[in-house]
A = this chain, B = another copy of it.
Amino acid sequence: MIIIKSPLEMRRWADQKRATNNTIGLVPTMGALHRGHMSLVEAAVRENDMAVASIFVNPTQFAPHEDFDHYPRTFEKDCELLKEAGVACVYAPTAGEMYSQDFSTWVDVELVSEGLCGGSRPHFFRGVATVVMKLFHATKPQRAYFGQKDAQQCAVIRRMVRDMDMGIDIVEMPIVREADGLAMSSRNAYLTDDDRERALCLSRALFAVGERLRQGEREAAVMLESVREAMREVEIDYVVLADADTMQPVSRVEGRVVLAVAALLPTARLIDNIIYDPTENTVS
């Protein structure tokens, strides 16, 4: 497994692999890898000749008051896990290589970026779209793997790839959960035992509504009310039922929808969601 630190070297590696007819699958990460990430990595290794994982804690998607400085960094352990999983290349650029002093180009995905996490974190998706575009250019993948836990991020990246004619297949993998239902997240490491316990109300609330969706409930208002009630012991950031492609709130379930929640616990901001597909009557 090779570790590459500069965009130029990364492009050269990718060009050479593409020129010899290898397919490339990219898993973009901020490191601090957990089983959620590893499920993406395993899919990338399985479905491509070369799997690339990027590890980059992207400063432009954090607001000044957020946890950029304290975000968990476990680079050596991450590399061991990736090597064991069969990854061919780790792309770990430095912030200086990614953002020159006079960096001035930004990618904005309108509409899909607004509301939900985009409402609470106004520059978040501009930072995400910009860095993912850069990672795509450097690693030249045919496929890129994202976790459904960041449902709005998946929608933003899909829209960007479609609008910008990038021809990259965006593979969205299911949320990986702890035995008690908590969605895996690098930020779970921040939680005290007490917050860890209270955090369970997010997935419990979502699972209960998932059951009601399967039984035919279609009205947003009643479902949102029941999620809010189930989350009464935490500070709610948002509870939204939205179209799964556009991320625009809906009042009734008519197509594929995402029920997405965010909560501000004392030690971490957590997000979780379920996606309901009415044509299959499935919750994922």
Contacts and interface: CB of A to CB of B under 8 A. Distances in A.
Contacts of A215: none
Contacts of A162: 100
A86 B141 CA distance: 31
A195 interface: no
Nearest to A105: B163
Contacts of A252: none
Contacts of A164: 105, 133-134, 137
Interface string A70-107: 00000000000000000000000000000010111111
A129 B105 CA distance: 9
A111 interface: yes
A53 B102 CA distance: 31
A279 interface: no
Interface string A1-18: 000000110110000001
B138 A105 contact: no
Contacts of A165: 7, 10-11, 134, 137-138
Given A8-B167, A167-B11, A159 B111 contact: no
A106 B156 CA distance: 12
A125 to B, nearest CB: 11
Contacts of A134: 163-165
Contacts of A160: 105
Contacts of A129: 105
Contact of A107 (B18, B19, B107, B138): B107
Interface string A149-170: 0000000000110111111000
Interface string A104-117: 11111111100000
Interface of A: 7-8, 10-11, 18-19, 21, 100, 102-112, 129, 133-134, 137-138, 159-160, 162-167, 246
Given A100-B163, A104-B111, 19 more contacts: A8-B167, A18-B18, A19-B19, A19-B21, A102-B246, A104-B109, A104-B159, A105-B109, A105-B110, A105-B129, A105-B160, A106-B107, A106-B110, A107-B108, A108-B108, A134-B163, A137-B164, A137-B166, A137-B167
